[in-house]
Structure 1
Amino acid sequence: MVMAQLFVRLTGRPHETDEGLDAPCEWLLREEGGDVVVEGSGSLVDLGHEAPWGDDTPDVVALAPVERVLCLSRTVPGRSVSQIARALPFAVEEFVTQDIETMHLAHGPITRGRPVSCVLVDRQLVTDWLAAIRSIGLSPAVMAPDAGLLPDACEITVLFEGDDALLRTPGHLLRIDRRALPGTLAAIAPDAPNDTPAVPAARLEVIGGTPAQTDALRQVFPGEVDAQPLEEPVLRFLASHYPASGTINMLQGAFAPARRNRGTASRWRAVAALAAVWFLLFTGMRFGEGLWADHRADALQADAAALFRELYPEARPPRNAYTEMRRRVGQPDQPAAADFELLLGALALAIDAALEGVELRSLSYSAGRGELTTELSLREYADLDRLRLQLEAEGVVVHIGSAEEQDGVVRARLRVAMG
């Protein structure tokens, strides 16, 4: 069932009041179809008194003021997703002025060899924001920088809001004084770190700017500039673009919301258990067959060697007479097709042996490639490494396509094939 969505845009730091912890904010409640029910501004306490959602608690998306967070991208060395995740704090520490231990680090999907998008924010600030929101009976599933909801159809997007402007580029999320915007746009690309994606001088989208403001940006921006009016409140505009591409949910790690049980594990439990039993039976049978096969293979090799000497007396005896005979008479060995049941059984055994709390979300098999593709939910990145090692111990080749933290769990996509 899809519930209504409540967007809470935090606009300042939390503070103590007679009614408890409070923070200034704007809010917008919309139905599951996208129609706005109510919107307003004030404080979280005001929102709690109004409670426009009635008895049906909505899905809550909290938007943090981007000026309170640091957004950047870094390329981090590592042989595994878990190693890269553990190394991220060391890679971003040089960009913060306070102790990294007091900062909360959230990140986007991790792929080896590619920059990782990160968000850094004071840990106590996140703690206080969440406490203030929960004090009015709400529990957000998502908290993201507000500028992260700007559209990314162009390489750079600017939204004018009062005396400031929100700015989104491939490597930056910022709120800046609108008077400093021309100089900032001119400086972004050369001042970016070496491993931050460069800002192409291609297209700039200006939202809500006056003709004079847009003309000022055209004078400093070397590429195409598109302008569009802003005919609705900023929060309504941002909510209409949720979820935006590349949005990082800051509620990771210790701040991850309680996990919802979607029942996906039970859907696969019987299949995985049957596959595991089949795998054990299959390997046991193969072991018994192997004893006979070894004996039979020796006999075949002896027969093939004798026949080879008769047919090709001038040729040098091959190392594997049976294979050479098949090649010479036009019957090359056919590679054994990877077996779906065998791969599924190995996956089930690896999960059972190494992990708890795993949800198998989807499976697909390509007979042509002999690959089983699966999407999993795991508790942490270390579980993903343990699963990979367990599968490799079973002789399975593992390729991790992607891994990212969502809703308090790590969602990973794997391709596995027999080695």
Structure 2
Amino acid sequence: MSYHLYVRPESLPTVDPAASYPVPRFDWVLLDASGAVIARGEGEGQSSIEQTLAQNALTNVRLIGLIPADEAVLCVAQLPARQTRYIRQALPFAVEEQLAQDIETVHLALGKRIGDSGYRVAAIDHQKMAHWFELFSGWSQLQLEALYPDASLLPIEQQEWSICLDGPVALVANRSGEWLRLQVGNLPLIADNLATGVTEEIATERVTLVGSSEDLSRHSATITALAASGTLELQQKTLEVTALELLAIAHHQRLCDPVNLCEGPYSVVDRSRSPLQPWKPAIAIACLWFLVQLGIEAGMGVYQQQQAQQFEQQAMALYQQSFPDDRRTHSGNVRRVVEGQLRQLGTSGQEADFLTLLKYVGQQYTRLPGKNAVTFNSLNYSQARGELVVDLRADSFDKLNALRGALVNTGLEADIGSVVNESSGARGRLTISGG
């Protein structure tokens, strides 16, 4: 079973390289393959989380790191290209004017295309990205799968905006993929920005605000001020889970579409698990079968080679018995020599005189079924041609043809000519010669 561990730093550590980093503390939640929360923790160090997983013998755990949403900004890149290679090449030029710092110092992560508006792009300072990537890499028995701005994992369903109260912080996201992270007290200041989609046809913008009962009670005045803008249709929901669990479940159920920051120089390569891992047993069996089959084929080849050599020796021994004076014939050409000799014998023909041909005709006639229906009218023999011509009559042509076939089977040549079909039967001339 596969597991996903969602980890978020408890507070934003400084990224100043000259500063001494405090030991980071994390909030975390572990989901199984079905998306159910099976473990959680708050304010724990990396070693404590790794120890908890090890004690429960959990394997195949994928790590998803959530960084503060204000560490990265969302840009939109208008690019005509469709192939990813060309899009990535043109990406820096497409978003350069939307950033307040040198494009060379910014890491860009490409998201999905949003209709005709362009491609969503997450931009984060290279120095900060390097810090977060290092912070979440190299965990024992864990493989980093993705890094996301935390607010980008808020669930967006029917509403246009989603707000989650997380202590003193508010996480904000909308259907276009934009995200914000700000102090809860500043929410009324962005009410106009939340209502940018309000038109004459749409009187108010739908906003869902969620939080624990304590957070909703603590920030009630701010919520009232936000609703008082008149342009927002605010719906409050009480969370029965922590904010981190809400983000993790929303991501597992695909209720959001975040941009993974692990791209380019920060791409994640899972060296611990090959994509062929599930197929390894089948591959091992196939390789074993191949080796066995190869051994069998090799053995059969050797055996058949030995048999062929024995047959060649036997053939040559028989040939030498018949042609002891032939010294030029060997196993490589014996077949060609014998075939040539047989062709020579065939072309010379078989000499047969009148009595011999008449003997064969008489033998086959006596064996012919229904011979009483066959009568001989006359016999003619040509010594010059070596042919015996028999004038026959039978009750059917099949009888004549059966006699001809029987003579052919003895090695003679026999043909029927001048066949005449009559009401009483058939008559014809049977010409027989030596084969």
TM-score using structure 2 length? 0.52
1:162 aligns to what? 167
Give the partner amino acid of 1:39. G
Give the 5 Å matches for 1:25-36. 25-33=26-34, 34-36=36-38
Q: Return the offset for 1:27.
A: 1.2
Cα 1:224/1:118, change in 2 over 3 Å: same
8 A contact 1:214–1:227 mirrored in 2: no
Cα 1:203/1:110, change in 2 over 3 Å: closer
Q: Return the offset for 1:143.
A: 1.1
Cα 1:49/1:55, change in 2 over 3 Å: closer
1:47 aligns to what? 49
Select the structure of larger CA radius of gyration: 2
2:275 aligns to what? 262
DSSP-derived class of the 1:254 partner: helix
Q: 1:125 aligns with which of 125, 128, 152?
A: 128
Q: Return the offset for 1:221.
A: 4.8
DSSP-derived class of the 2:143 partner: coil
Q: 2:258 aligns with which of 247, 250, 256?
A: 247
1:229 aligns to what? 238
8 A contact 1:14–1:132 mirrored in 2: no
DSSP-derived class of the 1:108 partner: strand
Q: Return the offset for 1:101.
A: 1.6
Q: Return the offset for 1:45.
A: 4.5
Same amino acid, percent of matched pairs: 24
Taking the aligned partners of 2:82 and 2:4, their CA distance within structure 1 comes to 39
Q: 1:218 aligns with which of 207, 211, 227?
A: 227
DSSP-derived class of the 1:136 partner: coil
Aligned residue pair count: 259
8 A contact 1:156–1:168 mirrored in 2: yes
Taking the aligned partners of 2:48 and 2:118, their CA distance within structure 1 comes to 41
Cα 1:220/1:72, change in 2 over 3 Å: farther
Q: Return the offset for 1:29.
A: 2.0
Taking the aligned partners of 1:235 and 1:105, their CA distance within structure 2 comes to 25
8 A contact 1:143–1:251 mirrored in 2: yes
Cα 1:14/1:183, change in 2 over 3 Å: closer
Cα 1:188/1:218, change in 2 over 3 Å: closer
8 A contact 1:26–1:42 mirrored in 2: yes
1:180 aligns to what? 186
Compare relative contact order (CA 8 Å, sep 6+) and give the higher one, 1 or 2.
1
DSSP-derived class of the 1:13 partner: coil
Taking the aligned partners of 2:203 and 2:70, their CA distance within structure 1 comes to 24
RMSD value over aligned CA atoms? 3.5
1:145 aligns to what? 149
DSSP-derived class of the 2:262 partner: coil
DSSP-derived class of the 1:118 partner: strand
2:7 aligns to what? 8
Cα 1:49/1:84, change in 2 over 3 Å: same
Unpaired runs of at least 5, structure 1: 192-198, 267-419
Give the 5 Å matches for 1:248-397. 248-259=259-270, 261-263=274-276
Unpaired runs of at least 5, structure 2: 280-435
Deviation string, structure 1 residues 374-399 (Cα, Å, up to 9, x no partner): xxxxxxxxxxxxxxxxxxxxxxxxxx
Q: Return the offset for 1:39.
A: 1.8
Does the alignment pair 1:65 with 2:68?
yes
Cα 1:81/1:90, change in 2 over 3 Å: same
Deviation string, structure 1 residues 2-52 (Cα, Å, up to 9, x no partner): 3122111134236799x9995332111233331322322233344345545
1:99 aligns to what? 102
8 A contact 2:108–2:121 mirrored in 1: yes
Cα 1:201/1:180, change in 2 over 3 Å: same
Taking the aligned partners of 1:123 and 1:28, their CA distance within structure 2 comes to 28
Give the partner amino acid of 1:213. T
Taking the aligned partners of 1:131 and 1:112, their CA distance within structure 2 comes to 34
TM-score using structure 1 length? 0.54
